[in-house]
Structure 1
Amino acid sequence: IRDADEIVVRLSDRSEFRAKVVGADVRTDVAVLRIQPSGKLPVATLGDSSRLKVGEFAIAVGNPFGLESTVTLGVVSATGRSAEPDIEGGDDFIQTDASINPGNSGGPLLNARGEVVGINTAMVTAGQGIGFAIPINTVRSVEQDLVAHGAVRRGWLGLGIQGLTPELAEAFGAKGEKGILVNRVVPGSPAQRGGVRMGDILVAFGKARVSGVKEFQRLVAGTAPGTPVTLEVLREGKRVAATLTVEEAEKQASVRRPLPREPVDPLGMAVRAVPKHLLREMELRGGVEVTFVETASPAWDGGVREGDVLLSINRETVRGLDDYRKAVSRLPRGRPAFALVYREGIQLYVALKSR
């Protein structure tokens, strides 16, 4: 429906109705349309996608390549699946091997009882038998928001997060702990006002334990704006509670990429100063740019790559080359450490171990 001048809904009896857009959600690729038929229409029965089991039958209906009312049969291959990065809809797809082709998008995915459990949305063009559908429970939630508000209201805390690897957990003094790592706190956000800091390890959102990035993102997005929540965090070996109020998600700023290269080091990488105009463009106060990383070096093994901008090492801010050299010289030999880097518009921590 995007950029459409006119939308026409055609039913199975070939009757047509002009439709009005009630609301649309780009993130899930779902829209609600309103038509005005003269009488009642038959409606499909909606199922419960949370009860789907891998291996049960899945039936896809649609108009692939213009072939109307085509039905294909397969099974549920997986649930909670992430699709290809360029497919809209998030990371909670139903994967099926029921044939989904161009023209199937928007058609129902049914279970063996004829209940709609998903909306067909995409396929993997590089393979066969790999299609995706948006779970009907997600569609229901989106539909309610679109009808009530014309848009989907998602929660937002203003945090940049990443997975907590065993190496990072050890470097942050939280060996064996499960959680996610905060690598950015947006100024003026609920997270900043609630006292969350970079380097905190989030272990619980309210009463729910947190073990992964996607899980945490779903918890936050599914929380109504205005709801107070308590985060349990690990900070320098201590458990801290941060209470904050969820706000409505803001539109993401366009991703900016750091620009390339130049100079040298014992961690196995070469760095150079970043020109001030590039720092302004990337909205950074300082840092050094990585121009070369030696394979099998501490920097490479820790995840540092060419083009990264190093912002801090072991909580020591790196504003330029002098700060960087001092921070490297103070790294404890043979012991785990960590660095904060800027990469393709986001900040993340990497683990380092000086030789």
Structure 2
Amino acid sequence: MGRLVPCTKSFSLLLLACFLALAAPSVSARAASNKAARITPVVTAVAAVAPAVVNITAAKTVQRRPNMGPFFDEEFFRQFMGPGGVPRQETQESLGSGVIIDGKAGLVLTNAHVIAGGAVIKARLQDGRELDAALVGADADFDVAVLRLSGGGNLPQAAMGDSGDIMIGETVIAIGNPFGYAHTVTTGVVSAVGRSLKHEGGAYADLIQTDAAINPGNSGGPLVNLAGEVIGIDMAIQAGAEGIGFAIPINKARRVVAQLVEGGRVTPAWLGLSGQDVDVRAARYFGLRRPKGMLVTEVAQGSPADKAGIKPGDLILAVGGAELDDKGQYRGALATSTVGEALTLTVRRGEQEQKISVAPAAFGEREAAGLAASRWGISVSFGRAVSVSSVRPGSPAARLGLAPGDVLVQIGGEKLGSQADFTRAVYVNRLNRTILVMIERGGRGYYAKMGVE
């Protein structure tokens, strides 16, 4: 019996080895099967887009005065160091995200506020490469900017989707650089489309609302659908709220990008309307609980508004779903609309309220010249400066005292040096009833307020 023990042990070890050999492929196959089951549409979409997402750093130099304390605030020291002491230079960095939309050309789409004021811009890819970025163009009204990367060769690029085909409730993915955590992925759904977001200068219109987590640093990153397509550019969150984020529809962003790449700026869109704020008496006439909207006072002949049947006396209550409190918000809504993009206006005529679809036209040099002549009563010429060539008697410009030969240095907040500057100045100030104008006459500069009826 003693001689049989080793044989039994050997036979047992042989059986164990055979079992393990047979079981190993089964375990490996089961692990592979489990992994395949975990590859969800979200995982697939992230894998497709993430290589084209970049983390953006924009650095700018600012001057700061150190706090010298009350002792050095005395007159004796201020005469040597000035108020607050000797200024020193500091470098500030802002963090954001972007997405490569053209790998061959190295074009990156991001938000304008991400790179605003940045003297040195760099972009880091998922593979760890850090590339220099140059600004191609930016538009603060749309909050869209285009960068060009250098030295990266043929880069990965994301597929563009169709934001006009978005479904409420569909799953979306935000990829970005929140708080510096590179390539962070969050998921949610499309909560709504056509949202508006009011800000100090007006309102952003036609935004995508999502509950996918969007935090500081996500700005400029892509909002992606389950097909791995970019349908929006993450932009902002609702202050004081959770689960309410906004993105610029990719169809609108692409129209802006095309203009920025071609000419470095976006052609302003207009409908051909002039108007004023609604007072209490007008609100009562229209049956409103409070003054709101813009009351149309003029409609330019042959303009999109004229062709759509809008008339003086109509009340514009909303543009593209964004309700208007005043004419400033109307101006802001138009500032974030592109030429040819169909807008739905909510118009009240007497007691009747209706929806009118109208597509903005380009506001160019001809429109600026016509509006300046009709609204302000001036014609101008362009050379080394923007000069007044004629003034219509009895016009706002005539009442101000403008005369042929005067040089227009600034209109409103817009400094003038070219015809393009003048066109923008007219566009920005076209609805204002009081405009601060700086003129040069006889080598001296003057500020004056021009009242427009």
TM-score by length of 1: 0.54
Cα separation, 1, equivalents of 2:244 and 2:201: 13
Among 424, 428, 433, the residue aligned to 1:250:
424
Partner residue, 2:179: 65
Among 43, 50, 54, the residue aligned to 2:164:
50
- Aligned residue identity for 1:152: V
| Structure (1 or 2) with the greater helix fraction | 2
Matched, 1:214 2:327: no
Cα separation, 2, equivalents of 1:110 and 1:86: 29
Cα separation, 1, equivalents of 2:189 and 2:361: 42
Given that 2:171 and 2:225 are in contact with CA atoms closer than 8 Å, whether structure 1 keeps it comes out as yes
Given that 1:190 and 1:247 are in contact with CA atoms closer than 8 Å, whether structure 2 keeps it comes out as no
Matched, 1:105 2:219: yes
Partner residue, 1:223: 339
Cα separation, 2, equivalents of 1:88 and 1:78: 21
Cα separation, 1, equivalents of 2:185 and 2:298: 48
- Aligned residue identity for 2:320: K
Matched, 1:283 2:451: yes
Residues 56-80 of structure 1: CA deviation (Å, up to 9, x unaligned): 0011111111111111110000001
Distance 1:53 1:118, change over 3 A: same
Cα separation, 1, equivalents of 2:362 and 2:433: 29
Tell me how far 1:89 sits from its aligned partner: 7.2
Given that 1:159 and 1:185 are in contact with CA atoms closer than 8 Å, whether structure 2 keeps it comes out as yes
Given that 1:116 and 1:136 are in contact with CA atoms closer than 8 Å, whether structure 2 keeps it comes out as yes
- Aligned residue identity for 2:451: E
* 3-state secondary structure, aligned to 1:250: helix
1:48-197 correspondence runs (5 A): 48-86=162-200, 90-156=204-270, 157-160=272-275, 182-185=295-298
- Aligned residue identity for 2:244: I
Cα separation, 1, equivalents of 2:208 and 2:135: 26
- Aligned residue identity for 1:10: R
Cα separation, 2, equivalents of 1:88 and 1:98: 25
- Aligned residue identity for 2:259: D
Tell me how far 1:26 sits from its aligned partner: 0.7
Cα separation, 2, equivalents of 1:152 and 1:282: 28
Partner residue, 1:351: none
Tell me how far 1:5 sits from its aligned partner: 1.1
Cα separation, 2, equivalents of 1:152 and 1:246: 10
Q: How many residues align?
A: 233
Tell me how far 1:170 sits from its aligned partner: 10
Cα separation, 2, equivalents of 1:86 and 1:55: 30
1:229-308 correspondence runs (5 A): 246-248=362-364, 250-251=424-425, 252-253=428-429, 281=449, 283=451
Matched, 1:20 2:134: yes
Distance 1:106 1:72, change over 3 A: same
Distance 1:246 1:126, change over 3 A: same
What stretches of structure 1 of length at least 5 have no aligned partner?
173-179, 203-209, 225-232, 238-243, 259-279, 286-355
* 3-state secondary structure, aligned to 2:186: strand
Tell me how far 1:185 sits from its aligned partner: 3.7
Residues 180-224 of structure 1: CA deviation (Å, up to 9, x unaligned): 9643449x9986xx899973438xxxxxxx994337966994336
Distance 1:3 1:69, change over 3 A: same
Identical aligned residues as a percent: 40
Cα separation, 1, equivalents of 2:166 and 2:201: 22
Distance 1:197 1:2, change over 3 A: same
* 3-state secondary structure, aligned to 1:7: strand
Structure with greater Cα Rg: 2
Cα separation, 2, equivalents of 1:26 and 1:113: 30
Partner residue, 2:385: none
Distance 1:71 1:161, change over 3 A: farther
Residues 42-99 of structure 1: CA deviation (Å, up to 9, x unaligned): 1111110111111000111111111111111100000010124248872111000000
Given that 2:195 and 2:209 are in contact with CA atoms closer than 8 Å, whether structure 1 keeps it comes out as yes
Distance 1:181 1:198, change over 3 A: farther
Cα separation, 2, equivalents of 1:113 and 1:84: 31
* 3-state secondary structure, aligned to 2:145: strand
Cα separation, 2, equivalents of 1:10 and 1:87: 32
Distance 1:184 1:136, change over 3 A: same
Given that 2:276 and 2:431 are in contact with CA atoms closer than 8 Å, whether structure 1 keeps it comes out as no
- Aligned residue identity for 2:116: R
- Tell me the C-alpha RMSD between the 2 structures: 4.4
Given that 2:194 and 2:320 are in contact with CA atoms closer than 8 Å, whether structure 1 keeps it comes out as no
Cα separation, 2, equivalents of 1:103 and 1:80: 24
Partner residue, 1:199: 312
TM-score by length of 2: 0.43
- Aligned residue identity for 1:150: G
Distance 1:140 1:110, change over 3 A: same
Cα separation, 2, equivalents of 1:31 and 1:128: 27
Distance 1:62 1:87, change over 3 A: farther
